Amino acid sequence: MPRINEHYLNLQASYLFAEVKRRTQAFREAHPDARVISLGIGDVTRPLPPAVVHALEEAAREQGRAETLKGYGPYVGYDFLRAEIAAHDFGSRGVDVAVDEIFVSDGGKSDSANLQEIFATDCVVALMDPVYPVYADSNVIAGRSGRADASGRYAGFTYLPCTAENDFLPALPDRRVDLIYLCYPNNPTGAVMTREALQRWVDYARAHEATILYDAAYEAYIRDADVPHSIYEIAGAREVAIECRSFSKSAGFTGLRLAYTVVPREAHGRTARGEPVSLNTLWLRRTSTKSNGAPYIVQKAAAAVYTPDGLKQVRTLIDYYMENAAIIRDGLMAAGLTVYGGHNAPYLWVRTPAGLSSWEFFDKLLTDAHVVGMPGSGFGPSGEGYFRLTAFGSREQTEEAVARISARL
């Protein structure tokens, strides 16, 4: 028998989603007449924008004719899409990103999980707490974590607590770190980082020769003018930051699958002997070795997002979810709860009422209001005492969930 990668055994069981599912299922079985509303999982519910559907149909027809059939495409994505991304997502904000710095992929989850591969195993990783679990787990598998303690913390990681006390903006690390995962707008807290705060991180990374892996999957939800949409709006970021984006939550592509990562030409790592190596070249090498690119049809659909109709329709989609966010925020605050997020993000981060842990509040809402959310402690120890609700439900379900919670607190 071949030996396995034993780092996999250091992963903690996917407790959060499994346990939420188990408790919800048990409740449904005990109360078959209850209409349970889920505002827990962060998946979209609105249909794809018509411009996207039209592009999918056209591209499918192209694939149905020998003259227009597209086989294997470029590993890194078609230039027709990369050019739209460069112009609309960056150029329109005065940020220069070149087409060959954009790597199109089938998802932000895989990009954020895979980026660590181009760095050495002994790199020290800094993670926000609470955190999107993919950053942690991919580094556990790579052997950077060691074992978890009883609270679920890995000795090998540097945790950056994000709580109401620091406005969910972590303090700079107090020990040397090499890779820093930042996610803004944040999942799960719904917090955003101001330009000044992000500048401090870029300055820190430059001073300490660290690289920031910046996850901007929820960038489309930013409303406030002083919140940067891209880390490259910050002076000096091109040397020290890689940015991931996704079409999942902006244009509803969670099922279609499309995302991209920007690796600027100025970004470098080093060999053991100290020679600089381009991260763009490494990521290109890794991508071309392991992927044959995202589907042509889906890239055509993504390009349709940047047409005048597509832009308008995506804006309508996001406005819909953000109205849900306002309904949840205003409703729960009126009911006396303390609510964070929801202004520039589709997530609401709710303080559990005094004396209730995250899981106790989960049980209370499920039992009394038949509403499912996510216990904050499942995203990390600093999430204890919080609860996540998403704005991705239908309007009707969102309104009803808020009414039920408010009536039963």
List interacting residues with ligand PLP (CB under 6 A): 42, 107-109, 112, 132, 183, 187, 215, 217, 246, 248, 254, 259
Which residues are CB-neighbours of 97 under 8 A, at least 6 positions away?
A: 85, 86, 89, 90, 91, 232, 262, 264
Minimum distance from CB of 399 to ligand PLP (Å)? 24
Choice between 159 and 364, CB closer to ligand PLP: 159
Are 342 and 332 in contact, with CB atoms under 8 Å apart? Answer: no
Choice between 252 and 385, CB closer to ligand PLP: 252
Compute the distance between CA of residue 198 and CA of residue 228 in angstroms, rounded to an integer.
8
Choice between 55 and 183, CB closer to ligand PLP: 183
Question: How many Cβ atoms from other residues are within 10 Å of residue 114's Cβ?
Answer: 19
- CA dist list (Å): 185 to 124, 149, 237: 24, 29, 18
Choice between 254 and 278, CB closer to ligand PLP: 254
**Burial letters for 179-205: b for 16+ Cβ neighbours within 10 Å, e otherwise?**
bbbbbbbbbbbbbbbeeebbbebbbbb
Compute the distance between CA of residue 49 and CA of residue 247 in angstroms, rounded to an integer.
12
Minimum distance from CB of 234 to ligand PLP (Å)? 19
Choice between 108 and 373, CB closer to ligand PLP: 108
Minimum distance from CB of 185 to ligand PLP (Å)? 9
Choice between 107 and 385, CB closer to ligand PLP: 107
Amino acid identity at 89: D
Minimum distance from CB of 145 to ligand PLP (Å)? 19
Choice between 317 and 369, CB closer to ligand PLP: 317
Minimum distance from CB of 218 to ligand PLP (Å)? 7
Choice between 89 and 215, CB closer to ligand PLP: 215
Parallel/antiparallel/unpaired status of strands 179-183 and 211-215: parallel
Minimum distance from CB of 182 to ligand PLP (Å)? 10
Starting at the edge strand found earlier in the chain, the sheet holding 179-183 runs: 102-105, 259-262, 241-246, 211-215, 179-183, 125-129, 157-161
Parallel/antiparallel/unpaired status of strands 371-372 and 37-38: parallel
Question: How many Cβ atoms from other residues are within 10 Å of residue 94's Cβ?
Answer: 8
- CA dist list (Å): 91 to 88, 138, 154, 194, 259: 6, 32, 40, 20, 18
Minimum distance from CB of 61 to ligand PLP (Å)? 26
Choice between 114 and 187, CB closer to ligand PLP: 187
Compute the distance between CA of residue 243 and CA of residue 227 in angstroms, rounded to an integer.
16
- What one-character DSSP code corresponds to residue 12? P
Minimum distance from CB of 44 to ligand PLP (Å)? 10
Minimum distance from CB of 134 to ligand PLP (Å)? 7
